[in-house]
Amino acid sequence: MSGKVLVVDDDASVQRLLQYTLKQEGYEVALAADGTEALRLWTSESPTLILLDVTLPTLDGYEVATRIRAEEGPGSHVPIIMLTADKDVQQKVRALRAGADDYLIKPFHPAELLARMKSLIARFSPSDTLVGRPPMGRIHAYYGAKGGVGTTTIAINAAIALQGLGRRVCLVDGNLQFGDHRVFLDLGLDRKSIVDIVSAPAMDGDLIRKIVQPHDSGVDLLLAPPSPESADLVTAAHMHQILELLRESYDYVVVDIDKRLDDVNLMVLDVAETIFAVMTADLSCLKNVRLVLETIGHLGYESGKLKLVLNRSNAFTGINVKSAEGALKRPIEFQIVNEYRGAISALNTGDPFMASKADSVLGRSVLDFARAVDKSGPAELAQLAPLASR
């Protein structure tokens, strides 16, 4: 993949390593050792992508990114990957707020860097807008405000409902340590998983099509590793590349992730078109939802990217929807009715209710939710949300 990369790092050994790695891949390389030089070369060299270290003389990486984004013209939209040795999530938040598109912690493997670079360059390429390019699928992330709120149940059944509407759907179990999709769908440990993708010599669409598991519902499944110790084999770069490849083959990629805000989950939240935060109307969950909203705000996402899904909306908890919205100071966009006994029965039999009891009260509620989600992009979901509340 051709292009020019501006490498900004005051460590000469890092510069040499990155220059060698990038030239081996066919990139031209420009080098800067401080923030002032970085801005000069950004103007004169018009790089395809910038690798920007955080700690620099004259101007740090945050300031360089901020100044680039403040300028007008196409050059201000150049993809930026921030490099740092700091693992603190707040530093990633600061980098994203400054305008970075991705964030890589040193030391990193060259393959991970190259995967992230190629994904960003492809995303920002002008060819993305050409007529005739196949439409890319939509990535939806399902994130539980706390454990036990029914996130996995909603993700699985929403995926089946979308498939029932004629969409091509891949359901990804993003809980890499303790994913439950095998249990919920009555699948054995011998089924192939995401580990079979990341352990292969090369990753492409053909490989992924061989690994995803067809389900009787019509939804294709990408399962979590069969054992917790295998979870560390899957990096954020792996997941990013997998999701981008899945988007080429499916209308919807539904990713069910756990509550950890590690690199993999943050990457899923970054690339998702919409984040559905699943909650229940109890004090403990409302407290967690406020924290989720605060975190999402810190990550610098566009307003409207996160949608609240109130599960078990008609359950008696002492807190009604209006009171919950008042406590959160924002609307709850979607509601799923309470039919706890039916949901538990489906779980215990490994037979999702959208596959066997779609005409139940709970099934109709999830179908309404799926219809609302399917009718438009994220900017219009707020207007369609009442459909899922009937």
- Is the pTM higher than 0.85? The answer reads no
> Would you state the pLDDT for residue 36?
96
Other CB atoms within 10 A of residue 213 CB: 17
> Would you state the pLDDT for residue 376?
55
Picking from 57, 35, 49, 40, the residue whose alpha carbon sits closest to that of residue 100 is: 49
> Would you state the pLDDT for residue 54?
95
> Would you state the pLDDT for residue 147?
87
The fold of 138-389 is Rossmann fold (3.40.50)
> Would you state the pLDDT for residue 17?
93
Tell me the chain's radius of gyration from C-alpha atoms. Answer: 22
The whole-angstrom separation of Cα 93 and Cα 107 is 19
Where does the chain have alpha helices with state H? 12-24, 35-45, 61-70, 89-98, 110-124, 151-164, 181-184, 194-198, 205-211, 236-247, 263-271, 283-298, 321-328, 340-349, 353-356, 361-374, 381-384
> Would you state the pLDDT for residue 381?
44
Q: Give strand pairing partners of 80.
A: 50
CATH of domain 4-129: 3.40.50.2300
Q: Is the dihedral of CA 332, 335, 338, 340 positive or negative?
A: negative
Picking from 250, 222, 372, the residue whose alpha carbon sits closest to that of residue 307 is: 372
Q: Give strand pairing partners of 82.
A: 52, 103
Each of the 390 residues of the chain gets a pLDDT tens digit; together they read 468 999 999 999 999 999 999 999 899 999 999 999 999 999 999 999 999 999 999 999 999 999 999 887 778 889 999 998 887 777 887 888 888 888 888 888 888 888 888 877 876 665 444 444 456 789 999 999 888 898 999 999 999 999 999 999 999 999 999 998 998 888 877 889 999 999 988 888 889 999 999 998 899 999 999 889 999 899 888 899 899 999 989 999 999 999 888 889 988 998 999 999 999 988 999 999 999 898 888 887 887 899 999 998 766 666 888 999 999 999 999 999 887 676 777 676 667 888 777 788 888 999 999 999 997 544 444 444 443 443
Tokens standing for 48? 């395809």
> Would you state the pLDDT for residue 310?
94
- In the chain, domain spans: 4-129, 138-389
> Would you state the pLDDT for residue 128?
44
Q: Do the domains at 4-129 and 138-389 have one common CATH topology?
A: yes
